[in-house]
Structure 1
Amino acid sequence: MSSPPESGPTLDAASPLPPEIEAADEPTRVPLAIEDWATVLIMGLLACITFANVLVRYFTDSSFAWTEEFSVFLMILLAMVAGSAAVARDRHIRIEYFAEGGSMNRRKRLAQFGALMVALLFFVIAALSVRVVWDDYRFEETSPGIGVPQWWYSIWLPIVCFAIGLRAVGLFVRRGRERRTQEGVGP
């Protein structure tokens, strides 16, 4: 006689995520819901734009000229917002052999070092991309598809890179607190 199949964790009606995933988020000063809702809005906008373009193509044999340009912008923005969420949740790419090996103190220091390097990288990108935005604005560059000012798209790069840098600094601080708590220094 066979036993009934084991089912996965049951979901609470109030929580859209399984308990182990929901519990995995560390408390942060700035709510992680910002990135989550931005992701939902961007994905919804992408779906609506694409669906509208499919309908127009199907019924008229032509398409909206602006949809491809705007979709590419939204996909890049989506990747940046998702990168911010990954940094805040400490789920960015790492080599597990080095990150998970060794003593707890070594792993915490590597986590802090990684967060510091991510912060440095994205602050540098934010600073350098301000120049790109300024050049787009100053030289009145227009987008190739629909001719809107290019800085409408490029302004988001320094903003989101700065936000990712701040999320990395927050991760660095949280990892430092964990180390002190484990060493018995204090909260």
Structure 2
Amino acid sequence: MSSDSQPGPDAPAVDAPEPDPQTTVPLKIEDWLTVLVMGALALITFANVLARYFTNESFAWTEEISVFLMIALTLVAASAAVARDRHIRIEYFSDSGSMARRKGLSRFGAVMVAILFTLIGTLSIRMVWDDYRFEETTPGIGLPAWWYSMWLPILSLGIALRAVGLFIRRGREA
């Protein structure tokens, strides 16, 4: 084998990942939040497994915190996916046709995502207010429920803003 690391002519081509788009708010925020949340989930789950193994008892709070972290992780990852234009779509339709058609479908998708998550964020504000006003507590450890629910409108509106940014970026492209 030769000393250089170039693939041979029969080697399959490997697609390099696309660089992140230029955004006003850096995508590193979502990337680091994803790392931190996944690390916290792994530590919590590992601690619970160790506790069960050595004591035959489970930490009551781990499930409650884990569910919250998985929801937060989903919303943070959705924000990054929207900003990178990697959200779910039917590629047969979105990647076929002229460039103008693809750009139009991308912008249409961005508008729909922005509307959906603005609606979710706006409606969930009422849920947070009700959790706060009625002093709802969580069933597992008795924390105020609004501590968890306040992140739904914040992250939903963040996703909506990322979709607006995608819409604007797609409009500026030639």
Sequence identity (%): 68
Match in the other structure for 2:144: 149
Deviations 1:14-51 (A, max 9, x none): xxxxx822x43111111000000000000000011111
Distance 2:27 2:66 in 1: 24
| 1:4-23 → structure 2 map (5 Å cutoff) | 6=11, 20-21=16-17, 23=18
Match in the other structure for 1:13: none
The TM-score, its normalising length taken from structure 2, stands at 0.91
Match in the other structure for 1:139: 134
Partner amino acid for 1:138? Answer: R
Distance 2:148 2:134 in 1: 15
Aligned-partner SS, 1:20: coil
Match in the other structure for 2:76: 81
Aligned-partner SS, 1:141: coil
Match in the other structure for 1:158: 153
Aligned-partner SS, 2:16: helix
Match in the other structure for 2:166: 171
Distance 1:91 1:33 in 2: 16
Higher relative contact order by CA 8 Å / sep ≥ 6: 1 or 2? Answer: 2
The answer on 1:48 being equivalent to 2:49 is no
Q: Which of 117, 123, 126 is the matching residue for 2:112?
A: 117
Unaligned runs of 5+ in 1: 10-18, 183-187
Q: CA deviation at 1:6?
A: 4.7
Match in the other structure for 1:185: none
Deviations 1:136-157 (A, max 9, x none): 0000111011111100100000
Distance 2:108 2:131 in 1: 35
Match in the other structure for 1:12: none
| 1:88-99 → structure 2 map (5 Å cutoff) | 88-99=83-94
CA shift in 2, pair 1:98/1:52, >3 Å:
same
Match in the other structure for 1:15: none
Report the number of matched residues.
Answer: 167
Aligned-partner SS, 1:136: helix
Distance 1:71 1:31 in 2: 27
Point out 4+ residue stretches in structure 1 off by more than 4 angstroms. Answer: 3-9
Q: What is the CA RMSD across the aligned residues, in angstroms? A: 1.9
The answer on 1:27 being equivalent to 2:19 is no
CA shift in 2, pair 1:108/1:7, >3 Å:
closer
